[in-house]
Amino acid sequence: MKELRIGLVGYGFMGRTHSNAFLQAPRFFDLPFKPVLKAVCARNAERAKAFAANWGYESIETDWRKLIERKDVDLIDIASTNDTHHDIAIAAAKAGKMVMCEKPLGRNAAEAREMVAAVEAAGVPNSVWYNYRRVPAVVLLKRLLDDGKFGRIFHYRAKFLQDWTISEDLPQGGEGLWRLDVKVAGSGVTGDLLAHCIDTALWLNGSITEVSAMTETFIKERKHNLTGKVEPVGIDDASAFLCRFGNGSLATFESTRYARGHKALYTLEINGEHASAFWDLHDLHRFQFFDHKDEGRVRGWRSVHVTDGDQPYMKQWWVPGLQIGYEHTFIHQFADFVQALGDGKTVGPTFRDGLATDHVTDAVLKSAASRKWESVPS
């Protein structure tokens, strides 16, 4: 079997989830290429070596430009901080490599637009790791929507609630905390959490035409880990918006890191003429479904435990009733990407899909500043 030789940039949380996907996908899915973990790249050679040893990468690099130059690498996977996505992706595309990139694609739509241009000019397969599109319950929802089970859509709502930055003592910047550093992250919860909600929404419910948003930074100053100084916080701690979709439906979106008691509560709900559905990342294999056709007196929301073989991806895993985990969403995305490669097809979310989300997050931040409704470029 032909090999798909992977070079990974970054060894943090996302470096782990991606590496796990590269290793697990071929054991559970029938893939047309054999993934080979060729090299991992990180500035700190010691850590890169340890990571390589743990995950089975054959070699390391300490400069991503070197990694891209390597002839024995087919695919560059970007799992490093947001401020690095743009340059690495464009260089990789120019070198003719396939590119997979952690979300958000760019720190803003301007960066993302150039990244899209690069991969499309180079004609290389590309993907953004909006992994929640590969939760079996979410895929089931997509299929039901595509099958017309919902009819006209009236409402969409999504939120992503966390609580890990409430303490004033939490510093910003540096390892593990770069998401609080606006220069590195690009934005706060808007690009980190809302971006997930938006990507799923665009996939499920089509384009967003205009938004009215508000953002807030609750803790105004934090010590910066790299400079050691107390500095203004540049990110948004919370971000919410109203919007209208192209299909005429209305929506509310919200994300925050100040919702005490919630760790990663990404929820979404869609209300259509004939059906409604609800999903919650904290209980990610339950799919709540209401079908208006159900008989009156026993009409109710169904709690669908998505673990059966006739439900998306589940035939590849265990037996009915037995759940999979969070990391499986990455395995699914990688498996789909590789299968599409074999078929000569494209599978989303592509860089172009990532740009669409960045257009929305840009509009959200713009609206929060302008205090007006802002339209979303299509």
Region 313-342 residues binding its own copies, contact defined as CB under 8 A? 317-328
CA distances from 345 to 124, 173, 279, 321 (A): 12, 40, 29, 33
Among positions 38-77, residues that touch its own copies (CB under 8 A) are: 54-55
Nearer Cβ to its own copies (199/237): 237
Q: Which tokens belong to 121?
A: 């000019």
* Binder among 84, 108, 267, 276 for its own copies (CB under 8 A): 276
Among positions 145-164, residues that touch its own copies (CB under 8 A) are: 154-155, 157, 159, 161-164
* Binder among 71, 220, 229, 371 for its own copies (CB under 8 A): 371
For 371: left if phi > 0, alpha if psi spans -120 to 50, otherwise beta; the answer is left
Nearest distance from C-beta of residue 322 to its own copies, angstroms: 4
Q: Which tokens belong to 228?
A: 């050691």
* Binder among 41, 145, 195, 275 for its own copies (CB under 8 A): 275
Got the DSSP string for 114-143? HHHHHHHHHT--EEE--GGGG-HHHHHHHH
Nearest distance from C-beta of residue 148 to its own copies, angstroms: 14
The verdict on 291 binding its own copies (CB under 8 A) reads yes
The verdict on 204 binding its own copies (CB under 8 A) reads no
Nearer Cβ to its own copies (14/98): 14
Rg over CA atoms, the chain: 21
Spatial strand order in the sheet of 238-245 = 286-291, 275-280, 265-272, 153-161, 250-256, 238-245, 208-216, 374-375
Using CB atoms within 10 Å of the CB of residue 142, give its burial: 0 to 12 exposed, 13 to 18 middle, 19+ buried: middle
Q: Which tokens belong to 276?
A: 């409604």
Among positions 2-31, residues that touch its own copies (CB under 8 A) are: 13, 17, 20, 23-24, 26-27
Nearest distance from C-beta of residue 323 to its own copies, angstroms: 5
Q: How far apart are CA 244 and CA 279, in angstroms?
A: 21
Pair type for strands 265-272 and 275-280? antiparallel
Cα 171 from chain centroid (whole Å): 25
Please work out the total of residues on this chain that contact its own copies, with binding judged by CB under 8 A.
90
Nearest distance from C-beta of residue 23 to its own copies, angstroms: 8
- DSSP-assigned letter for residue 296: G
* Binder among 94, 290, 339, 366 for its own copies (CB under 8 A): 290
Nearer Cβ to its own copies (225/323): 323
Among positions 108-127, residues that touch its own copies (CB under 8 A) are: none
- Which helix (H) or strand (E) is 252 found in, with range? strand 250-256
Q: Which tokens belong to 295?
A: 């008989």
Nearer Cβ to its own copies (23/347): 23
Among positions 226-265, residues that touch its own copies (CB under 8 A) are: 238, 240-242, 244, 248, 250, 252, 254, 256, 258-265
- DSSP-assigned letter for residue 148: T
On whether the CB atoms of residues 42 and 349 are closer than 8 A, the answer is no
Place of tokens 């948003």: 213
On whether the CB atoms of residues 124 and 90 are closer than 8 A, the answer is no
Nearest distance from C-beta of residue 240 to its own copies, angstroms: 5
Q: With CB under 8 A as the contact rule, which of the stretches 108-116, 198-206, 298-306, 351-359 interacts with its own copies?
A: 298-306
The verdict on 138 binding its own copies (CB under 8 A) reads no
Nearest distance from C-beta of residue 346 to its own copies, angstroms: 26
Nearest distance from C-beta of residue 316 to its own copies, angstroms: 10
* Binder among 22, 33, 287, 337 for its own copies (CB under 8 A): 287
The verdict on 301 binding its own copies (CB under 8 A) reads yes
Nearer Cβ to its own copies (55/64): 55
Nearer Cβ to its own copies (112/284): 284
Q: Which tokens belong to 171?
A: 């510093």
